[in-house]
A and B are shown apart, each in its own frame.
Chain A
Amino acid sequence: MNSSSILFALDALTGALFLLTAIGVVATRQVLASLQLFILQSVLLTLSAVLLGFAQGSIHLFAVAAITIATKTLLIPWLLRHTVSAEVYRTREIERVLNIPSSLLIAAVLIVLAYVVANPLLGAVSVPFAQINLPLGIAAMFLGTFTIVVRREAVPQLLGLLAVENGVFFAGVAIVPSLPVIAELAAAVDVPVLALVIGMLTRRIHVRLGTTSVGQLASLRDC
């Protein structure tokens, strides 16, 4: 087994775990557990960026890895802890829009759909690592979107959004290994600002309304 096929196998393993964390964010009930799953997912994204960086000798991917570790595993959890009160983290969702078995069934359909979307792309251009990263990245995006739809608590919705973002970058590291530097900076600035804005908004909602169950807010509707 030569070194590149070992890297390939390791990336496949990372990808599988990455997908599991995305499914986990859909299925967990505790707010704190979702946050921990998100951190784990970010670590796996970093790992994949490092593996691809070795395989393709791209310095850019190491920068992506460094930025991901700094922002998503350190800065964002810190920001959320300081903006959102501890009470929110202890929350356990009793009520969900969908129960867990049917959520998982839909998640399975979404993963298949991700392969359907990724297939024409992989057929058009052949990039070895994209075979793993592109469909799994898109799958994580779909699962994150689904999370936002079914979760009612504010923090899990934010984490769903960040999971979508992780999915984009998981696909991105394979399809554009020489991501322009500015895009890396974007990820470095944009994502923490997003977490900050949403964290502060969550705090305001908590203070003003006494709940962070944003899915139940329905004073604005038509007819």
Chain B
Amino acid sequence: MAEKLPEQMSDYQHVPPEIVNESVGHADAKEELLDECESIWRQMEECQSKLTLLGTETLPESDAKLSLLMMRVKALTAEYNQWQKRSPEIISTNPDVLVALGKEELQKVKNGLEMVLSTVQSKNKKLREDLKREQQWHEEQQQIVDVLNGIEEEMKNQVVQFSEKRAFQELKNKMLKLRTYKEELLNALGEFLEEHFPLPEEDGSAKKKKKNSSEEPAVELVTLHEILEILINKLMSTPHEPYLTISDSFWPPYIELLLRYGIALRHPEDPNRIRLEAFHQ
């Protein structure tokens, strides 16, 4: 029962008020509508009286959800059946009512369309403004692009020449600097070696040794400086074969010194050959 009410309610609420109020002639139209309203109202009162007979029912504390769901099932089924049974209502065939209803409907449509029109118009106006603004913006951007392109073109020629020359010059300078630095290093090393590792001939003790071993010096001894130079050159020029065979012109204590301090390394198989430690790797 309860479910029926809303639908009837809505029918009743939607009788166009205009017609009910219309006082121009059409007495029978009005009469008819009033009758219809009366009958709906009577129906409602009937429903209401049935509803009041239903007792109140509150949900049980424990299983509220279950009983509520049961109720919903019942109510939904009832509502479903109601919709199934229901046939579309036919509005009164009285021409006056139809005219009034049609007028109202048309008026509604007209109002709606007017609203749409004004909305569209204002939207159009806005779009036009937007377009104008966008166009202007685009133009400005185009101008900027043009100017920038011109500048770029101009710069290109200048920059290419300029930068090549300069880079070359810079490299040259760097090389020069490096060379002088190398020179400096070599000189310093040479001086150091000359000062601290002289040839043994100039020394008295060396002469004594020579006398002991042999009267005539077999070969001209080379300086430590020269030994190192040979070792370095050997390592740099033929890195795959850096070994140097020890000849008599090398004073043995210097060889010993080089080996002991890890400056030179012996060949793992041939004790007569040495190489420079690969410091540069």
Q: A and B: real partners? A: no
